[in-house]
């Protein structure tokens, strides 16, 4: 790779020059196809409009839209322009939305019409605080063209370097306050490059995107990786089990990228053969974002005849960090594979590197690793050791072949369907109920989502409340996705000597 090549702009320009009429993106709902030449045209137009309207390299532009032709174009185009893109999680509640838009220093939000009302209150609060005004640009995620200005072609584009910041992703932490993960062009491109190399992907490969573009997996694996290897992506608005196989077959996809929750849904329905579809071009199914149960892994392969490559990554590593080999004979069920592109090691509490089979914290180092946490120097310093290794917070071991086996988490984060949920966020919502004295949430195993949410609650003395009432209260405070699957009323919460609640004990006491 030549010096300076690891930028989004480099790859857009490269393929627009080498294969201008090759497709990069197919929008199945409208039939629109974005070629590499059109992608370059879109990116340059967007960059010039943003610069003409007072934005500067390094500014943050947020994106609040479901998947679509225009959404993907904006995601790539903002980075192409040298600005920092911040995809908003569409599951965000108003308080989290306000925090993210304020903390990220967002100057402009590209927003689907359906979300304009949700933005109004958080933006009014930010404006009232005197922080700044944030412009909102409503549009349709399926729009093809959004600008029409003959003068913009004369606006010069500033250079973009590998070390420039490209992406800002907010991920839940154990404190409940989202952390802004800052990714450079080098890191974003490396995530796409490692994906492409690990799976031997090239210009003839096409992936079906079933994951949202506000998730690091959807961004890097199904959007940036095809851009790096010159392939293409089929991007429906959202995952639908009812038309998943039809889309994959009709558009001759050669691989699919999913999470265990999607695998669970697909296992409950008919496969391509039962639907009379030819999906023979699909070489493999890539699974990521949460551990895949061995039973589901084997069931998927047996039912659909498509091999599963289990992988593992973090928002902080631009999706890929470990992957099983392309050769089915070398894969290990129950492991997300070997380190690929980056390095990995296991350490003990004293920081010593451990040998094969010895459990400890999983550490990662490589070009795909984040720059740090936005405006959080202390958290950034705590995330890395002196040699630049990233603390993942995951506990596991490496076997003699270098395959990682994850056995638990140091962090008490709940991962439901690939989405990070901070337990404290659930606690705090329950504590707002007038009858609740103490509350603690924890993740418990779930066949469909990987993990579900269990909340244990201690009621105030002399006050009565039911689990059903608390669940209804949570739905109003947190929305349905973050509402616990189960609430258990208990007399006391298990605590350590310091008085801190021992969450892991809760999952042992109330496992299902």
| CA pair distance 68, 234, nearest whole angstrom | 10
Alpha helix locations (H) across 314-422?
A: 377-383
pTM (2 decimals)? 0.85
Answer whether residue 321 is part of any domain.
no
Q: How many CA atoms lie within 13 A of 62 on its CB side?
A: 29
For the chain, 512 residues long, the average pLDDT of each consecutive 10-residue run is 77 98 97 97 93 93 97 97 96 88 97 95 88 90 76 81 97 72 98 98 98 94 98 97 97 96 89 96 93 87 97 94 97 96 96 96 98 97 97 93 86 82 85 90 90 94 94 95 95 70 83 72
Which residues are within 8 A (CB) of 484 and not within 5 positions of it... i.e. 6 or more apart? Answer: 426, 441, 452, 453, 454, 455, 471, 474
Which two structure tokens, joined as six digits, stand for 29?
């709902």
Query: Where do we find the tokens 């558009």?
Result: 251
Alpha helix locations (H) across 53-184?
A: 69-80, 94-103, 116-128
Length of the chain: 512
191 & 99 share domain: yes
Answer whether residue 322 is part of any domain.
no
Where does a domain end: 409, 431, 459?
Answer: 409
Question: Given this model, what pLDDT does residue 146 score?
Answer: 74
368 & 490 share domain: no
Q: How deeply is 141 buried, as exposed, middle or buried, from its count of CB atoms within 10 A (0-12, 13-18, 19+)?
A: buried
Question: Given this model, what pLDDT does residue 3 score?
Answer: 47
421 & 399 share domain: no
Which two structure tokens, joined as six digits, stand for 494?
């298990």
Q: Do residues 161 and 4 make contact, with C-beta atoms less than 8 angstroms apart?
A: yes
Q: Give per-residue burial for 402-412: e unless 16+ CB within 10 Å, then b.
A: ebbebeebebb
Taking phi first (over 0 means left), then psi (-120 to 50 degrees means alpha), and beta for anything else, what does residue 189 get? alpha
Which two structure tokens, joined as six digits, stand for 150?
């003959």
| CA pair distance 271, 269, nearest whole angstrom | 7
| CA pair distance 484, 118, nearest whole angstrom | 23
398 & 304 share domain: no
Q: Could you give the number of structural domains in the chain? A: 3
375 & 287 share domain: no
| CA pair distance 109, 214, nearest whole angstrom | 14
Q: Give per-residue burial for 282-309: e unless 16+ CB within 10 Å, then b.
A: bbbbbbbbbbbbeebbeebeeebebbbb
Q: What angle do CA 161, 370, 396 make, to 5 degrees?
A: 150
Answer whether residue 198 is part of any domain.
yes
184 & 130 share domain: yes
Q: What is the CATH number of the domain that holds 347?
A: 2.30.38.10
Which two structure tokens, joined as six digits, stand for 14?
């490269």
115 & 199 share domain: yes
22 & 136 share domain: yes
Find residue 323's DSSP bridge partners.
311, 338
Answer whether residue 25 is part of any domain.
yes
Question: Given this model, what pLDDT does residue 496 score?
Answer: 58
498 & 393 share domain: no
| CA pair distance 226, 373, nearest whole angstrom | 27
| CA pair distance 325, 339, nearest whole angstrom | 10
Q: How far is CA 494 from the centre of its chain?
A: 33
Where does a domain end: 389, 409, 429?
Answer: 409
Q: What is the CATH number of the domain that holds 497?
A: 3.30.300.30
Answer whether residue 328 is part of any domain.
no
| CA pair distance 377, 468, nearest whole angstrom | 42
Q: Do residues 416 and 449 make contact, with C-beta atoms less than 8 angstroms apart?
A: yes
228 & 353 share domain: no
394 & 422 share domain: no
479 & 353 share domain: no
Q: What is the CATH number of the domain that holds 273?
A: 3.40.50.12780
Where does a domain end: 409, 430, 453?
Answer: 409
| CA pair distance 97, 30, nearest whole angstrom | 30
Answer whether residue 3 is part of any domain.
no
Q: First vs last Cα of the chain: how many Å apart?
A: 50
Which residues are within 8 A (CB) of 405 and not within 5 positions of it... i.e. 6 or more apart? Answer: 334, 335, 396, 397, 398, 399
Q: Measuring CA to CA, which residue among 85, 77, 49 is closest to residue 165?
A: 85
Answer whether residue 315 is part of any domain.
no
Give me the domain span that covers residue 256. Answer: 9-145+156-309
| CA pair distance 187, 372, nearest whole angstrom | 11
Q: Do residues 139 and 112 make contact, with C-beta atoms less than 8 angstroms apart?
A: yes
Which residues are within 8 A (CB) of 474 and not within 5 positions of it... i.e. 6 or more apart? Answer: 426, 429, 430, 455, 482, 483, 484, 487
Answer whether residue 450 is part of any domain.
yes
| CA pair distance 426, 437, nearest whole angstrom | 14
Q: Considering only CA atoms, give the Rg of the chain.
A: 23
| CA pair distance 24, 7, nearest whole angstrom | 17
């Amino acid at each position: 790779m030549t010096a300076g090549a690891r930028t989004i702009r480099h790859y857009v320009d490269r393929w627009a020059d080498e294969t201008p009429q090759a497709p990069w993106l197919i929008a199945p709902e409208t039939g629109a196809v974005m070629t590499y030449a059109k992608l370059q045209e879109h990116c340059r137009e967007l960059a010039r409009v943003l610069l003409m309207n007072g934005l500067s390299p390094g500014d943050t532009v947020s994106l609040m839209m479901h998947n679509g032709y225009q959404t993907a174009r904006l995601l790539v185009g903002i980075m192409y322009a040298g600005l920092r893109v911040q995809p908003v999680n569409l599951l965000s509640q108003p308080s989290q939305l306000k925090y993210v838009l304020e903390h990220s220093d967002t100057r402009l939000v590209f927003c689907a019409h359906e979300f304009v009302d949700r933005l109004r209150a958080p933006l009014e609060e930010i404006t009232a605080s005197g922080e700044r005004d944030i412009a909102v640009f409503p549009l349709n995620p399926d729009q093809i063209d959004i600008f029409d200005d003959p003068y913009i072609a004369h606006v010069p584009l500033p250079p973009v370097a590998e070390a420039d910041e490209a992406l800002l992703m907010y991920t839940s932490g154990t404190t409940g306050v989202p952390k802004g993960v800052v990714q450079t062009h080098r890191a974003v491109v490396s995530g796409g490059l490692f994906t492409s190399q690990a799976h031997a992907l090239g210009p003839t490969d096409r992936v079906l995107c079933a994951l949202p573009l506000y998730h690091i997996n959807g961004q890097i694996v199904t959007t940036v990786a095809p851009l790096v290897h010159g392939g293409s992506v089929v991007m429906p608005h959202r995952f639908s089990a009812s038309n998943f196989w039809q889309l994959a077959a009709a558009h001759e996809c050669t691989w699919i990228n999913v999470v265990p929750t999607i695998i669970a849904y697909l296992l409950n329905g008919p496969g391509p053969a039962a639907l009379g579809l030819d999906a023979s071009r699909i070489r493999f199914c890539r699974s990521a974002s949460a551990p895949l149960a061995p039973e589901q892994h084997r069931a998927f392969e047996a039912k659909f005849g498509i091999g599963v490559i289990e992988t593992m990554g973090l928002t902080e590593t631009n999706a890929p960090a470990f992957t099983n080999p392309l050769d089915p004979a070398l894969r290990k069920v129950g492991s997300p594979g070997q380190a690929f592109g980056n390095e990995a090691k296991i350490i003990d509490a004293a920081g010593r590197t451990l040998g094969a089979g010895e459990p400890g914290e999983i550490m990662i180092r490589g070009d795909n690793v984040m720059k740090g946490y936005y405006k959080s120097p202390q958290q950034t310093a705590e995330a890395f050791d002196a040699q630049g290794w990233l603390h993942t917070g995951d506990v596991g071991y490496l076997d003699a072949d270098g395959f990682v086996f994850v056995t638990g988490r140091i962090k008490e984060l709940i991962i439901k369907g690939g989405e990070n949920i901070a337990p404290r966020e659930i606690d705090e919502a329950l504590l707002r109920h007038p009858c609740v004295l103490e509350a603690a949430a924890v993740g418990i195993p779930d066949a469909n989502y990987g993990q579900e949410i269990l909340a244990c609650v201690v009621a105030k003395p002399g006050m009565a409340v039911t689990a059903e009432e608390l669940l209804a209260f949570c739905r109003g405070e947190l929305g349905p996705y973050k509402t616990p699957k189960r609430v258990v009323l208990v007399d006391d919460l298990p605590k350590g000597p310091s008085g801190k609640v021992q969450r892991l004990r809760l999952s042992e006491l109330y496992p299902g």
